[in-house]
Structure 1
Amino acid sequence: MDVATLGIDLGKNSCSLVGLDADGRVVLRRRMRPASIPRFTEKLAPCVIAMEACCGAHYLGRQLIAQGHTTKLMPPEYVRPYVKAQKNDDRDAEAIAEAATRPTMRFVELKSQEQLDIQSLHRVRSRLVGVRTALINQLRAILLERGTTVPQGRRTFERAIDGLLAEAGALPEGRIRQLVVEVRGEWQEIDQRIAALDREFSEMARAEPAARRLSSVPGIEPLTATAMIAAVGKGANFDHARDLAAWIGLVPRQSTTGGKPKLLGISKRGNTYLRTLLIHGARATMHTLSKSKTALGEWLRKLLARAHYNVAVVALANKLARLAWATMRRDIDFAHEQLAAA
């Protein structure tokens, strides 16, 4: 079999493989378990092996590269238009192989094991933050049923609940008071786990030169810096800074027809977690930057004079993503980049 491109539709228990020759004709169809794929591909001559960028694709991709193959990963939404007729695993694998042959196709950079490890830590932290938010909302509902309301804010509510538990008679004795104590203890335990992860991210940012350079950008803390490295590495998959900002989803959506451009809200595509961190970082540093006597501060003041505050926050997040790309690709700190721009 003269296989030039091999498409693999990954699954937990069963995978479909479709091979194309140099002319794009189907010359191979197989279905096998995931563990059997490396044993099968090592018998093939070096070829292009394409997969969707999903769970397990990066691990298998590194194994296939070690065998001498060229691995290409693609976003699933870019493969979908190539699925013909009814959808099934074989059609999906054929669509993956065909999509990989297109010269305009966009590919996903293969992540290292270190990047995947950092990404896993971030996802665990994100889950813990969600659990903490659910506990706080549940406690608010319990207190509200007993006539106690607390202003918004996690820290404000934390002080209020501790005060109620410390004050005798503030909460009726019995099972409900005991329940509030238990939920508060669970909340404190989650706080400790989140704080431990934050310390781990800070240590990573200090030890990794690329993360230290990213942390020099205003609004990018160790949490955002490590998330950026886990998501894009050194940003080599993006030719321009605006490409990274567009991938994160910090650019306007377009609805252009008949030569009449129309820009809508931001696209919100790409990495939701990374976009959230950048917007929060931009909001936190907005006041300081808008008062600074720098090129970035002057640009921000002009923007605030003509745009809504929230629009300016998102625009600043876009700017921070571009500065992050420059620090990663050029191996320089933000101060040097700002001096060169000025």
Structure 2
Amino acid sequence: MTNYVGLDVHKKYFHATVMDEEGDVLIQESFPNDSEGFDSLLFKTGDEVEVALEACYAWEYVYEELEDRVEEVKLAHPKKTEVITKERVKTDTRASEALAQLLRMGWLPEAWAPPKETRRLREKLRRRAYLVWKRTGFKNKIEADLAKQGIRRKVSYSDDGKERLRNLEIDSINDYLDMVEALNDPIRRITKEVEREARATEEAKLLMTIPGVGFVWSLTLTTELGDVERFFGPNEVPAYAGIVPSTEQSGSKEVHGSITKEGNKYLRWAAVECAHLHEWHADDTYLTRFFHKLAAKKNSQTAAVATGRKLLIAAYWMLKRGEKFRPQG
């Protein structure tokens, strides 16, 4: 007999509810959120269990602890789970019990759990992105402090440019420049690793046929998308990225608003960045024509978002069919 386990995971502990196939609660108990805690849980349940936990910030550690030790681990979509259970009083016990019950009944709204290799690449790419964002922040601080001093010339980060900045003898600028230089080394190292990974990955090489999409962005798109066969169709991809317009409908009236932003923020960010790069590097493709037509009516950022949505659909078909980018669509 298979038992069903719902886990409500916190930083230092997790609360487990174990149910049998009839829905009777066998165990409700808290355990330390470490290897010994999972050992204690499985000592009581055995390995013939299915486990459900919400896709919270700490899900990967828990997932990796359990995925090779139990029958199956499933990720629950937090917002969809909340809608189904309609919990007004949320406690650890109720949350874990709801997950176990949904799992037992086959009603668990699942979120996709990437395989180990994809999780490894995602972590590396997201770490690189975070370091680049931080470095850009320090560069912006340098420009802001130069403006405060009445210096509005273009800033260069070549060796000569950095020396000119140092010669200004402004403490804040020297501090920020130290941070920029400290971040350069890990960014360069990770970038080289990412390039090797991309050139060894068939899916990434395929997406690199899109003008403007280099090895970093191609690998970002493939790892954030995962296996495209899990999508029912191309329109699910931009929805997964949260880059589709929000819609309110009442009777015959339908109003479209800004994008939902409910989904994979890294995929959404990559899609918009790739749209900008494609517009800069491609002379005449169906995507650039769409971009310029929309930019003339609205603005370049709106056009980039909409083009990013189309680019994701193009990436879906390229990966599904194993085809290179077709400039005319």
TM over 0.5, shorter chain:
yes
Alpha-carbon distance in structure 2 between the residues aligned to 1:61 and 1:185:
38
In the other structure, the counterpart of 1:125 is 128
Alpha-carbon distance in structure 2 between the residues aligned to 1:164 and 1:112:
43
2:315 counterpart of 1:317: no
Name which of 306, 328, 334 aligns with 2:324.
334
Q: Counterparts in 2 of 1:1-342, with a 5 A limit?
A: 4-34=3-33, 35=35, 36-41=37-42, 43-44=45-46, 46-81=48-83, 82=85, 84-100=87-103, 105-150=108-153, 156-158=154-156, 165-166=163-164, 171=168, 176-177=169-170, 180-286=173-279, 288-289=281-282, 291-292=284-285, 296=287, 308-330=299-321, 332-335=322-325, 338=326
TM-aligned CA distance change 1:242 to 1:3, over 3 Å: same
Amino acid at match of 2:72: T
TM-aligned CA distance change 1:75 to 1:312, over 3 Å: same
Could you list the per-position Cα deviations for residues 14-35 of structure 1 after superposition, in whole angstroms to 9, with x for gaps in the alignment?
1111123435454431221232
Q: TM-score, normalised by structure 2?
A: 0.83
Alpha-carbon distance in structure 2 between the residues aligned to 1:46 and 1:149:
67
In the other structure, the counterpart of 1:153 is none
Name the SS of the counterpart of 1:87 in structure 2: coil
Cα shift at 1:139: 2.2
Alpha-carbon distance in structure 2 between the residues aligned to 1:157 and 1:140:
7
Amino acid at match of 1:145: K
TM-aligned CA distance change 1:8 to 1:323, over 3 Å: same
Q: Contact 1:73 / 1:109 at 8 angstroms: preserved in 2?
A: yes
TM-aligned CA distance change 1:54 to 1:329, over 3 Å: farther
Amino acid at match of 2:59: A
TM-aligned CA distance change 1:107 to 1:218, over 3 Å: farther
Q: Contact 1:3 / 1:20 at 8 angstroms: preserved in 2?
A: no
Alpha-carbon distance in structure 1 between the residues aligned to 2:190 and 2:304:
27
Q: Contact 2:6 / 2:18 at 8 angstroms: preserved in 1?
A: yes
Could you list the per-position Cα deviations for residues 46-75 of structure 1 after superposition, in whole angstroms to 9, with x for gaps in the alignment?
343111123443444355443351221022
Q: Contact 1:38 / 1:63 at 8 angstroms: preserved in 2?
A: no
Give 5+ residue unaligned stretches, structure 2: none
Give 5+ residue unaligned stretches, structure 1: 151-155
Alpha-carbon distance in structure 2 between the residues aligned to 1:13 and 1:324:
40
Higher strand share: 2
Aligned-residue sequence identity (percent) comes to 22
Cα shift at 1:218: 3.5
Alpha-carbon distance in structure 2 between the residues aligned to 1:78 and 1:203:
38
Name the SS of the counterpart of 2:16 in structure 1: strand
What is the aligned length?
Answer: 325
Amino acid at match of 1:66: D
Q: Contact 2:246 / 2:257 at 8 angstroms: preserved in 1?
A: yes
Could you list the per-position Cα deviations for residues 320-341 of structure 1 after superposition, in whole angstroms to 9, with x for gaps in the alignment?
11122223333x1324xx39x9
Alpha-carbon distance in structure 2 between the residues aligned to 1:257 and 1:290:
42
Cα shift at 1:165: 4.7
TM-aligned CA distance change 1:77 to 1:167, over 3 Å: closer
Name the SS of the counterpart of 1:31 in structure 2: strand
Alpha-carbon distance in structure 2 between the residues aligned to 1:241 and 1:19:
38
